[in-house]
Each structure stands twice: as structure tokens, then as C-alpha cells.
Amino acid sequence: MHATEQLVPVRLAAINEADADGWLASCADNAASRDVPLDSVWNGRAELEAGVRSRLAAIPETWMEVRTVFVDDRSGACERTMSGTPDGVLDGLPEQLAAS
């Protein structure tokens, strides 16, 4: 298993346990994270920390399951399903969906 690919289950477990510190521990200081469906991008330690804490606060019972993982020496991506009930403002969530 590629080293980058090994981060996926670690990060997924941290999110499923609402462990922002565990998720952040898997990130380099200059890492970037992008949620394509929500069109949200976090660049660098400060944005990563603010983003993951905000996301976990908005959906405290988040559950993610990875379908497919794509990696190379510098980056990785995964196709995943996510479930949870929003309980706050979530960056990138369409306004009409947030209101419902």
C-alpha cells in the first residue's frame, strides 16, 4: 500500500470519531484539502484546522465510507459517501439545502 493511501483510513477514522486533532495530525503544515461536491478548499494548517473543526461542529455525527482511493507521491483523492444531519452552518452547502 502506498504511503499516501495509508492516510485515508487514518483520516476517515478520525472524522468518524469526531476527532479533529487526529485528522489534523495526519496533515503536513502546508497540506490542502478539497471537498469537490461542496466546493470547499482548505490550504495550510490554519485553514485545515478551522475547516475540520467547523465541519465537525456542523455535522457532529458525520459518518464517511471510502469507495475508491487514488494516490501518487504528492497527493491523494478518494471517492466517498458521507452521511450525517447538519446541525449548523456548513461551508459550501447550498442555501436552499441548509434551510431545509
Q: What is the pTM of this model?
A: 0.80
For residue range 74-88, list pLDDT tens digits in order: 788 888 888 888 877
- In angstroms, what CA-CA distances link 10 with 1, 49, 58? 14, 16, 21
Give me the mean pLDDT over the 2-11 stretch: 80
For residue range 59-71, list pLDDT tens digits in order: 888 898 988 988 8
pLDDT category, 21, cuts 50, 70, 90?
very high
Give me the mean pLDDT over the 9-16 stretch: 90
